[in-house]
Amino acid sequence: MVLVASVLAVLSIQPLEARINDDCAASGARYGQPVQDSLKESGLLYYRKDGLCLIAHFFSGRCDVLSIFSEKQFEGVPDSLSENKITSLLDQEGGAGWRRVPRLSMNDVWGSLDDRLFAIYDTMRHKLVIMTRESYAREKEALAKTRGLR
């Protein structure tokens, strides 16, 4: 009985959430059944929850990229996410501790305080992307290979 009470106390303090670096099971626990499963083909799981569309990319069994946008659309473009919603999503999905990076473009950019993650809010497409620096490095390397730069 003491063990059950201890577990319930811990769960009430810290909710179970899937985040960057969590596995597929944790993502399923957080978002529910994927609306599309392309894990074997492209490493992607597609979810819809609380008015948001989420696309999670998995590498070596861990989520390394999350793309988040509104389920509501006008002429094929998702509704914009408010500043408060973006801040909340950064904390929920990437963990607490973000700093704004000076703008080099019209998009908003943040880096995690531990420098493991960064996020971009595409102001034209209204999509928030949170990714690991390792994922970004792999993407850049793959792009360079396809362009014959390496």
Residues 96-146: tens digit of each pLDDT? 799 999 877 899 999 999 999 999 999 999 999 999 999 999 988 988 888
> In this predicted structure, what is the pLDDT of residue 45?
94
Q: What percent of the chain has pLDDT over 90?
A: 63
Are 45 and 24 within 8 A, CB to CB? yes
pTM of the predicted model, to two decimals? Answer: 0.81
Cα–Cα distances in angstroms (integers) from residue 8 to residues 26, 40, 65, 98, 120, in the given order: 19, 36, 31, 30, 36
Give me the residue spans of the domains in the chain.
Answer: 2-146
**pLDDT greater at residue 94 or residue 12:** 94
